Amino acid sequence: MKFEDNLKRLEELVSRMESGEMNLDDMIKSFEEGRALVATCQKELESVRTRIEKVAKSGEAEEFKP
């Protein structure tokens, strides 16, 4: 999935959880999925940050490899 798709899914999960309409089992499953999405997004952002730092130092762009 793309970063934007992961972020959108995370926002959907948070919205559903905040609505108060979920039972406890669904809430726990959503929380677990959300934690996994957060970890994935953080990893992607770290990769982008590293890439930007390399470009800033060298002045050359390199091919993005997700």
- For the stretch 4-43, pLDDT in tens is 999 999 999 999 999 999 999 999 999 999 999 999 999 9
Residue 66, in any domain of the structure: no
Residue 30, in any domain of the structure: yes
State the burial class of residue 9 (Cβ atoms within 10 Å of its Cβ: 0-12, 13-18, 19+).
middle
Residue 63, in any domain of the structure: no
Angle at 1 between CA 55 and CA 4, to 5 degrees: 65
Domain total in the chain: 1
Q: What pLDDT score does 60 carry?
A: 64
Assess whether pLDDT exceeds 70 at residue 63: no
Residue 12, in any domain of the structure: yes
Q: Is 9 helix (H, G, I), strand (E, B) or coil?
A: helix
Assess whether pLDDT exceeds 90 at residue 57: no
| Model pTM score | 0.76
Q: Which domain holds residue 39?
A: 3-58
Residue 64, in any domain of the structure: no
Residue 25, in any domain of the structure: yes
